[in-house]
Amino acid sequence: MSKKTLILVALLVSLGACVFVLAQEPNSGSGQGSSAVDMQGIRGYLLGPGDVLDVRVFGQPDLNSLAEVDADGNVSSLPFLEAPIRAQCRTDKEVQLDIAKAYAKYIRNPQVSVRISERKSRQPATISGAVKNPMQVTMLRRVRLHELLTKASGWTERASGTVQIMHTEPEMCPPAGEIFQKTAASSKIDNFGIEIYKLSDLKMGKEEADPYIRPGDIVIVTEAEPVYVTGAVLGARELVLRDQLTLGRAIAMAGGTQRLANTSEVHIYRQKEGVAGQDDLKYNYDAIRKGKAPDVLLKPYDIIDVRQSGPFSGKSFGDIFVNMFRSSLSVVTQRGIIY
């Protein structure tokens, strides 16, 4: 064999290997990117009303059809079959066996293929609120809360520490015999099936704080209400109220007090319940730091005013801040979430 022939053979072998490798790679050029949450449950997908099956009987083109699972969970539109085939909460392979048995009454050893053409039985779950990427997620398998949060890129710094889950419809295919024990990590707040879970329990790995999310569920990571720290602190700022924020922690998060701060009398301006105006509450921050007085739990929209000691303490920046926000705070009763 000549040298040129050997080179040509080597090139052909290399080209064939490249074509084989490319053929093994999954197609990544589809119109929509599929998430892990959406695609991992394909093989174990349980059928439901609205799903469409592509049924083919080899050698019998008249029996090929697209059949939709009806509202009762059955496939009842197959040619020449009078009795419906049960499909709800079963896989396509299980339905395929039943269709083959049904056609065996008319055809000898029928070869039947069943493929899911459209998956329309599950409504998407919605996650919104204090998450980085609010979205709707279609789930083809059972998905836990932590997976949905991960899909939404996690929660933001404004998260209050709780998650509300509202069930809009019953679970179509609940596992037989499963009992989900709810503990203090979950509590119903009304008769509409809204449950509350704590992010702190979820981060600790508690299973009871990581429930399964149903299709159609509305998941809201609640946003924290603000409190304000102003006056003679190193970094006046707005804080989010979560994890039982106290006066001492809030001042520390603002960088601590300035050297000339009057720490024996710190003011908290608190919105009155049901009426306009604020209460002026006074606390001894020195006593709180020394453990001689209990720390104070803050409430939404509290304004912490650390005044300066000396001749300039009569009219502090906190008074100006309160006046500036007086009109707006008097009408604030709750925060709404639009999604």
Maximum alpha-carbon separation in the chain: 106
SS3 for 22? helix
Token pair of 206 as six digits:
């508690």
Residue 31 lies in a domain: no
Count CB atoms within 10 A of the CB of residue 228. 21
pLDDT in tens, 107-142: 999 999 999 999 999 889 999 999 999 999 988 888
- In sequence order, what are the beta bridge partners of 282? 267
Please tell me the number of Cα atoms within 13 Å of 264 on its side-chain side. Answer: 4
165 CA to centre of own chain: 9
Q: What angle is formed at CA 56 by the lines to CA 50 and CA 57, rounded to 5 degrees? A: 140
In degrees to the nearest 10, what's the CA dihedral of 235, 239, 244, 247?
30
Q: Kind of pairing, strands 85-86 and 278-283?
A: unpaired
Where is mean pLDDT largest: 30-44, 190-204, 264-278, 316-330? 264-278
pLDDT in tens, 236-247: 999 988 878 999
Residues spanned by the domain of 163: 125-171+181-223
Report pLDDT for 321: 54
302 CA to centre of own chain: 29
Same domain, 258 and 282: yes
Q: Tell me which of 9 and 146 has the higher pLDDT.
A: 146
Q: Tell me which of 330 and 104 has the higher pLDDT.
A: 104
Residue 16 lies in a domain: no
Do the Cβ atoms of 82 and 150 come closer than 8 Å?
no
Q: Tell me which of 315 and 262 has the higher pLDDT.
A: 262
**What total number of domains does the chain contain?**
3
pLDDT in tens, 278-294: 899 999 999 999 999 99
Residue 20 lies in a domain: no
Report pLDDT for 318: 52
Mean pLDDT of the chain: 79
Report pLDDT for 2: 56
Lowest mean pLDDT among 8-17, 123-132, 217-226, 237-246: 8-17
The pTM score is 0.64
Query: Is the pLDDT at 190 greater than 90, yes or no?
Result: no
Residue with tokens 């929209």: 301
pLDDT in tens, 299-314: 999 999 999 986 555 4
Same domain, 258 and 216: no
Same domain, 61 and 130: no
pLDDT in tens, 54-97: 999 999 999 999 999 999 999 999 999 989 999 999 999 999 99
Amino acid at 321: F
Same domain, 229 and 323: yes
Residues 6 or more apart in contact with residue 222 via CB below 8 angstroms: 129, 130, 159, 160, 161, 162, 163, 164
Q: Kind of pairing, strands 212-213 and 143-144?
A: antiparallel
Quote the CA–CA distance of 243 and 249 in Å, as a whole number: 11
Lowest mean pLDDT among 11-25, 106-120, 168-182: 11-25
Same domain, 279 and 297: yes
Token pair of 170 as six digits:
């019953």
Work out whether the CA dihedral 246, 248, 252, 254 comes out positive or negative. positive
Please tell me the number of Cα atoms within 13 Å of 153 on its side-chain side. Answer: 10
Residue 160 lies in a domain: yes
Same domain, 250 and 319: yes
Residue with tokens 């932590």: 146
Residues 6 or more apart in contact with residue 150 via CB below 8 angstroms: none
Query: Is the pLDDT at 269 greater than 60, yes or no?
Result: yes
Q: What is the CATH number of the domain that holds 146?
A: 3.10.560.10
Report pLDDT for 179: 45
